[in-house]
Structure 1
């Protein structure tokens, strides 16, 4: 029925590696314990000792397998080495090309490789180097979004591309409930990757104000206002907060580098200043003008009505999906 067996996990539900450190050990362990695939988020700088610490802390909270997400646009070689040394179940990769050498190295360590792609061309390259699954991200997704295609058009093309290759396709972008899950299965995906829904959980490391906004606000926008200096050419989908609506037409020559400091945050153990228009979402440690910071969210945010324990999200979606599919079968007979 689509909710069992993906990469050996009980359910085909993945918690996205929410950056910069929102999907930490507590959230990932809760997802793993509920039968899903939880993904830690590695730092965007080389910090192999810290990566090991993150992985080991997660292992104290669950005896189930989990993974780590790495953004290839930033320094990552030492972090990946630490991930492979620790033999986590899955290495998830994003925003960069997954090489055949890296896949081979991971497989030799017993680690599965799952890149996230935003286009058919990227999917073709990933399939050619022998990856274990592919996360297909639509433009509906929150946070940094590489592709321009919607899930409904992209997923079936990639499913057809890998037909007969034993590469499960996982749909990502705007999915927050059982209806989105069943729709993804209908498109040919074997699992779903949820970001915004897991962001709005008790175990997520997001700031309480950020979580509250996910429940209160219903609209998002695809923009390049935030983080232009640090990560140019990396558009993002954000909540339409009052701050964003005031500044959404920021001139293209402006960026965060000459802006005032509006807060501070401890990110992956390091103290950082947050400037206005920085692409850094507020986590639990963040102080300052929280309302003026970026808040990523996918298009499905309007369906999120409450903050739930992560361990409840998965069984709720699975049970409701089973009922939905059964109803369709009954109606069709």
Structure 2
């Protein structure tokens, strides 16, 4: 087994399903080819033909296993059935319960189930349902945030709650470099899931301005908010970059106002369908987005201050795995040297 491996993948590194189409086939295939777990993001509409095409395009770019993420808050029955029929390696689910009978159905199809959760109770439910791994999301995460606690307080609580159950626990939320990876391992995680770091890669389908904002932003330049996409996805707080648009409107939108009946600020093409982007829409700008891109929502986790460049996805996977391994080896070397020094200076009585 390679160092850091989980779920049969070479490294314990998961690329989060970035929506609606930011983690498309090029990014997922690049992560898979590098030995990590790449995840497509299924559409919010229950459109199995779109999922099948995404899987087909990804398989044309890699022979390695990968997965698909499904948000259970949206219609998904046909989509999940298509994923099982295609026998991808991993089904990632979030924002809802996924009972034991559904997990067993996936297992019969040869598909592993990874459930992303944001509380100890939900972790216990997922484990009882028989999932193959849980992703613990802290509120430092970018995009729509399940977690109501910081990752490094929530993670050890989940580890303790699932003690004795043979299930990998994966940490998510604000992790952007090898140091965060090692910190998560120290608290009991077996792997890490990153979103923002993979948005700022050459293969991601994010608009260049979105990637540029991530690279140029400093620590503290994200905010936990409910400003965007209120009608489409109510009661789903999100973490976003503090753009000039956000700072202008963060205290101006009434509680009963949503993205409905707002003026258009641009257009985009998502999964082949042209869409109008309204003000306060929750749709991030992809490479096809036109118009006032500066005013579109840009999700990002609190670790964006650690991201200083746009890299190939394979380089991100390598730097995380090699960097974490080096940190651990250096720490172990220091411990051994300290122990040897103390032993050599000890006085026998």
Question: What TM-score comes out, normalization by structure 2 length?
Answer: 0.94
| SS across alignment from 1:8 | coil
After TM superposition, the structure 1 stretch with the greater mean CA deviation from structure 2, 248-257 or 292-301, is 248-257
Shift of 1:3: 4.0
Q: Show the counterpart of 2:16.
A: 16
Tell me the alpha carbon deviations over residues 211-233 of structure 1, each in whole angstroms, 9 at most, x when there is no partner.
Answer: 00001112100000000111110
Trace 1:8-87 onto structure 2 (pairs within 5 A).
8-87=8-87
1:175-324 pair list within 5 angstroms: 175-218=175-218, 219-249=221-251, 250-324=253-327
1:95 aligns to 2:98 (yes or no): no
TM-score (norm 1): 0.98
Closer, same or farther: CA 285–115 of 1 in aligned 2, 3 Å: same
User: Matched residues in 2 for 1:238 and 1:209: separation?
Assistant: 14
- Structure 2's unaligned 5+ residue stretches are 337-349
Deviation at 1:4, TM superposition (A): 3.0
Query: Hey, what does 1:159 align to over in structure 2?
Result: 159
2:346 maps to which residue? none
Question: Following the alignment from structure 2 to structure 1, what is the Cα–Cα distance between the partners of residues 2 and 102?
Answer: 29
Range with bigger deviation, 96-105 or 134-143? 96-105
Q: What is the deviation of 1:268?
A: 1.7
8 Å Cα contact 2:6-2:191 kept in structure 1: yes
CA RMSD of aligned residues (A): 1.1
CA–CA separation in structure 1 for the residues paired with 2:312 and 2:200: 9
Is contact 2:156-2:188 (8 Å) kept? Answer: yes
CA deviation after TM superposition for structure 1 residue 164, in Å: 2.3
**Residues 221-279 of structure 1: CA deviation (Å, up to 9, x unaligned):** 00000001111100100000111111111221211102101111111221111100000
In the other structure, the counterpart of 1:144 is 144
Kept in 1, the 8 Å contact 2:28–2:66? The answer is yes
| Corresponding residue SS for 1:32 | helix
Structure 1 residue 78: Cα displacement: 0.4
SS class of match (1:7): coil
Conserved 8 A contact 2:34-2:317: yes
> In structure 2, how many angstroms separate the alpha carbons of the residues matched to 1:168 and 1:103?
16
* 1: CA distance, partners of 2:8 / 2:162: 19
Equivalent position SS for 2:305:
helix
Shift of 1:190: 0.2
Which has the larger displacement, 146-155 or 180-189? 146-155
Moved runs in structure 1, 4+ residues, more than 4 A? none
Please state how far the C-alpha of 1:5 moved relative to its aligned partner: 2.9
Deviation at 1:2, TM superposition (A): 8.8
SS of structure 2 residue aligned to 1:283: coil
Number of corresponding residues = 333
- Cα deviation 1:118-147 (Å, max 9, x = unaligned): 111110110110000000000000000012
Question: Aligned partners of 1:246, 1:138: CA distance in 2, in Å?
Answer: 27
| Rg larger for | 2
Report the 3-state secondary structure (helix = DSSP H, G, I; strand = E; otherwise coil) of the residue aligned with 1:255. coil
